Amino acid sequence: MSTSTSFSTTTKRSASPTWEIPHPRLRERRFALVPLLEIDPELTDPWETPLADSLDEAEGDVELLEPF
């Protein structure tokens, strides 16, 4: 039994000619991963792959401007 949170309760992706959910390069962008993982460090994609697994290789730098 998994206790992680997923973007979706299904393994489906949503797409149209102009957008795709989840974003196809989400795992490559630290500015998107860090805030999501601050909310839930166990967050997974719809296929149950932990997003934290991609953090070390994601591009960019993120700094917290003010502590919560």
Domain total in the chain: 1
In the predicted structure, residue 6 carries a pLDDT above the cut 60: no
- The answer to whether position 17 is within a domain reads no
Which positions ≥6 away from 33 have C-beta within 8 Å? 26, 27, 51, 54, 55, 58
- The answer to whether position 48 is within a domain reads yes
- The answer to whether position 47 is within a domain reads yes
Does the CA dihedral 38-9-25-52 come out positive or negative?
positive
- Domain extent, residue 36, equals 25-57
Task: Average the pLDDT over 8-17 and give the result.
Answer: 62
- The answer to whether position 43 is within a domain reads yes
pLDDT of residue 1: 45
- The answer to whether position 31 is within a domain reads yes
**Residue 64 CA from chain centroid, whole number:** 18
Instruction: Tell me the whole-structure pTM to 2 decimals.
Output: 0.67
- pLDDT, tens digit, for every residue of 18-66? 888 888 899 999 999 999 999 999 999 888 999 999 999 999 998 877 7
- The answer to whether position 30 is within a domain reads yes
- The answer to whether position 49 is within a domain reads yes
- The answer to whether position 53 is within a domain reads yes
